[in-house]
């Protein structure tokens, strides 16, 4: 290969984790090339002007889990990171509503309207979950060890974690055990009595998963969403000015600042492997680039079943990757609006439109939506997590107009008969009809709509089966088993081939963590 095309490291995929890895490697003085298949950077964290004047966070739509040290070390605020807090969570239901805000006193009063007992319990619940979240963070920030053939560093990490667990109180250990094994509904039933409150809180446990609120393991997913913060405000959620694509662009600017080269419209065909070692990549157009290491930011199935020949991998590893559960269960509907939606339970404009709107009035609503998916159909009355980005950031839409982001469950990738245009539009109709039960004017104010099924998420964004987390966050797919036992430490069976996507530890969300930890692992081994 010509010397001019040789790099210290090549990153496949310009999603936020791939960009994060590139930024850290560039920061360490390495010559890095990022290759992105699409015309735009960001992967699933991307902002696009789908309709003239209307900008959408097309896939990922909120920010909470982005690590504070990543923001600091990569100087992301300098490069455009600006997070705007979501002020509330509104849950509309028949003839009433529930709203929770960042104001503890206001939230207490609102919950107390329905249950004084729950209002008092809620004040204890947040700090308790915060403690559990903080107790889990050391696990999330530790490179997962090889538990089959541990090295000295693996044993050291395991000992450190063991000592950490020994330091937990009996109460912390009890709650952690329950959260790792229980359903979100069962866990919340031990705390609260008011159904809409429990249902809304349990919804965090089903986002991006093929589980219902009563499915064992969903409590951990709920905990996963509790572990973020914004500017030190634990469990806070925010919206990036300019959409989530602006997060990716801030990381990209940081990477370029540190010397990384980034190419778009550069789809990688395969990783070039010689004598069991990755030595570069070949693009679909035939161009080849050499490198000392190759890092894949793609999901595990693409990284190992598409980017490399199975013959270059151990058969047991291939089996593990093929068995890695990556079922898509989510769709996205983006609406361009002529005006704001008017909710019957809380009419007019107000702070309730400056946060999340959760269509989760009770457990039955969520479980019935899940039942539809279990039997191969999209939900007729789906769960939705809705935000109105243009209320927070007017530049997202023309003056007087708005954009609405609807994250929707459930929409199974393996729908009966497969996805087609007719089913996609029927799914979009089900979403709009469900919103109309709470905001009857919605049908009259829609100017345009974009409906994305899991099949669309796969074809457009390279998410296998449309799975937003690159793999389900279930107990058997966490920590030292994500994505496969012996290979959760960002290394792969192919020498000098690494992984840094959300299918690695600690998992999905806009965290930057897999990219950061993979890069630091590589730099440590580089010496």
Q: Is 310 among the domain residues? A: yes
CATH number at residue 260: 3.50.50.60
Distance CA 369, CA 372 (A): 5
Same domain for 307 and 219 = no
Coil, strand, or helix at residue 36? coil
Each residue's pLDDT tens digit, 398-451? 999 999 999 999 999 999 999 999 999 999 999 999 999 999 999 999 999 999
Mean per-residue pLDDT, 385-394: 96
Please, what is the average pLDDT of the chain?
Answer: 93
Q: Quick one: pLDDT band at residue 306, thresholds 50, 70, 90?
A: very high
Is the predicted pLDDT of residue 26 greater than 80, yes or no? Answer: yes
Same domain for 278 and 249 = yes
14, 45 Cβ separation under 8 angstroms: no
Residue 50 burial by Cβ neighbours in a 10 Å radius (0-12, 13-18, 19+)? middle
Q: Is 389 among the domain residues? A: no
Is the predicted pLDDT of residue 54 greater than 70, yes or no? Answer: yes
Pairing of strands 88-93, 356-359: parallel
Q: Quick one: pLDDT band at residue 460, thresholds 50, 70, 90?
A: very high
Same domain for 230 and 137 = yes
Same domain for 40 and 78 = yes
Counting residues of the chain whose pLDDT is more than 70, the rounded percentage is 97
Q: Which residues, including other chains, have CB under 8 Å from residue 335's CB and lie 6 or more apart?
A: 403, 404, 406, 432, 442, 446, 448, 449, 450
Each residue's pLDDT tens digit, 248-298? 999 999 999 999 999 999 999 999 999 999 999 999 999 999 999 999 999
pLDDT on residue 269: 98
Same domain for 229 and 204 = yes
pLDDT on residue 450: 98
Q: Domain end: 218, 234, 250, which one?
A: 234
Mean per-residue pLDDT, 299-322: 97
Same domain for 210 and 250 = no
Same domain for 218 and 156 = yes
Mean per-residue pLDDT, 219-230: 74
Each residue's pLDDT tens digit, 128-185? 888 888 788 888 888 888 878 888 888 888 888 888 888 888 888 888 888 888 999 9
More confident residue, 317 or 95: 317
Lowest mean pLDDT among 233-247, 272-286, 342-356, 492-506: 233-247
Same domain for 178 and 129 = yes
Cis check: omega of the bond before 170, within 30 degrees of 0 = no
Same domain for 289 and 213 = no
Q: Is 463 among the domain residues? A: no
- Domain assignment of residue 137, given as a range: 125-234
Cis check: omega of the bond before 92, within 30 degrees of 0 = no
Residue 325 burial by Cβ neighbours in a 10 Å radius (0-12, 13-18, 19+)? middle
Same domain for 182 and 142 = yes
Q: Domain end: 202, 234, 266, which one?
A: 234
Same domain for 221 and 139 = yes
Q: Is 286 among the domain residues? A: yes
pLDDT on residue 164: 82
pLDDT on residue 1: 40
Is the predicted pLDDT of residue 476 greater than 60, yes or no? Answer: yes
Q: Is 208 among the domain residues? A: yes
Distance CA 115, CA 119 (A): 6
Lowest mean pLDDT among 51-65, 218-232, 366-380, 473-487: 218-232
Partner residues linked to 93 by β-bridges: 96
Q: Is 73 among the domain residues? A: yes
Q: Which residues, including other chains, have CB under 8 Å from residue 421's CB and lie 6 or more apart?
A: none
Q: Is 519 among the domain residues? A: yes
Q: Tokens 């492997």 map to which residue? A: 273
Q: Quick one: pLDDT band at residue 518, thresholds 50, 70, 90?
A: very high
Q: Domain end: 234, 255, 275, which one?
A: 234
Backbone angles phi, psi at 283, to 5 degrees: -85, 165
Determine the length of the chain: 527
- Token pair for 48: 């696009």
Quick one: which of 158, 285, 256, 223 has its CA closest to 507? 223
Q: Is 209 among the domain residues? A: yes
- Token pair for 103: 């104001």
Each residue's pLDDT tens digit, 73-122? 999 999 999 998 888 999 999 889 999 998 999 999 999 999 999 999 99
pLDDT on residue 229: 54
pLDDT on residue 235: 53
pLDDT on residue 2: 43
pLDDT on residue 136: 82
Q: Quick one: pLDDT band at residue 236, thresholds 50, 70, 90?
A: low
pLDDT on residue 347: 95
**How many domains does the chain divide into?**
2
Angle made by CA atoms 236, 411, 183, in degrees to the nearest 5: 55
Mean per-residue pLDDT, 449-464: 97
Same domain for 222 and 165 = yes
211, 218 Cβ separation under 8 angstroms: yes
Model pTM score: 0.94
Angle made by CA atoms 53, 56, 58, in degrees to the nearest 5: 145
Distances (CA, A) of 247 to 195, 240, 305, 331: 36, 7, 29, 22
């Amino acid at each position: 290969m010509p010397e001019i095309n040789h790099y210290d490291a090549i990153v496949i995929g310009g999603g936020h984790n791939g960009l994060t890895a590139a930024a850290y490697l560039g920061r360490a003085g390495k010559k890095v090339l990022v290759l992105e298949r699409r015309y735009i950077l960001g992967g699933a964290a991307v902002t696009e002007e789908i309709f003239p004047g209307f900008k959408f966070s097309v896939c990922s739509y909120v920010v909470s889990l982005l690590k504070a040290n990543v923001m600091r070390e990569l100087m992301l605020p300098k490069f455009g990171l600006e997070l705007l807090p979501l002020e509330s969570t509104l849950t509309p239901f028949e003839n009433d509503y529930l709203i929770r805000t960042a104001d503890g006193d206001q939230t207490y009063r609102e919950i107390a309207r329905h249950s004084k007992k729950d209002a008092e319990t809620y004040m204890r619940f947040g700090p308790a979950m915060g403690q559990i979240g903080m107790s889990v963070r050391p696990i999330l920030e530790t490179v997962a060890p090889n538990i089959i053939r541990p090295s000295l560093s693996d044993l050291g990490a395991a000992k450190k974690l063991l000592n950490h667990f020994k330091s937990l109180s009996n109460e912390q250990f009890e709650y952690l055990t329950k959260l790792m094994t229980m359903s979100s509904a069962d866990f919340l039933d031990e705390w609260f009595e008011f159904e809409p409150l429990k249902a809304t809180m349990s919804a965090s446990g089903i986002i991006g998963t093929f589980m219902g609120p009563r499915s064992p393991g969903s409590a951990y997913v709920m905990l996963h969403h509790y572990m973020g913060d914004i500017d030190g405000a634990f469990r806070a959620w925010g919206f990036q000015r300019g959409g989530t694509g602006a997060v990716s662009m801030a990381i990209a600017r940081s990477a370029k600042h540190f010397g990384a080269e980034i190419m778009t419209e550069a789809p990688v065909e395969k990783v070039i492997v010689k004598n069991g070692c990755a030595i570069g990549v070949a693009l679909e157009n035939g161009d080849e680039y050499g490198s000392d290491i190759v890092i894949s930011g793609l999901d595990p199935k693409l990284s190992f079943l598409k980017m490399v020949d199975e013959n270059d991998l151990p058969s047991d590893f291939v089996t593990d990757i093929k068995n890695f559960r990556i079922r898509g269960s989510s769709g996205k509907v983006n609406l361009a609006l002529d005006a704001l939606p008017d909710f019957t339970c809380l009419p007019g404009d107000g702070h309730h439109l400056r946060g999340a709107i959760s269509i989760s009035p009770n457990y039955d609503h969520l479980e019935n939506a899940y039942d539809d998916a279990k039997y191969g159909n999209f939900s007729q009355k789906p769960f939705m997590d809705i935000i109105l980005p243009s209320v927070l950031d007017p530049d997202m839409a023309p003056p007087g107009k708005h954009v609405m982001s609807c994250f929707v469950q459930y929409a199974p990738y393996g729908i009966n008969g497969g996805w087609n245009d007719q089913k996609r539009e029927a799914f979009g109709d089900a979403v709009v009809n469900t919103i109309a039960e709470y905001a009857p004017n919605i049908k009259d104010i829609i100017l345009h709509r974009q409906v994305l099924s899991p099949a669309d998420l796969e074809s457009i964004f390279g998410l296998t089966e449309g799975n937003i987390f690159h793999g389900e966050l279930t107990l058997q797919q966490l920590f030292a088993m994500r994505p496969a036992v012996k290979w959760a430490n960002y290394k792969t069976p192919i020498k000098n081939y690494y992984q840094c996507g959300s299918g690695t530890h600690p998992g999905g969300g806009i965290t930057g963590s897999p990219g950061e930890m993979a890069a630091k692992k590589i730099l440590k081994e580089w010496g």
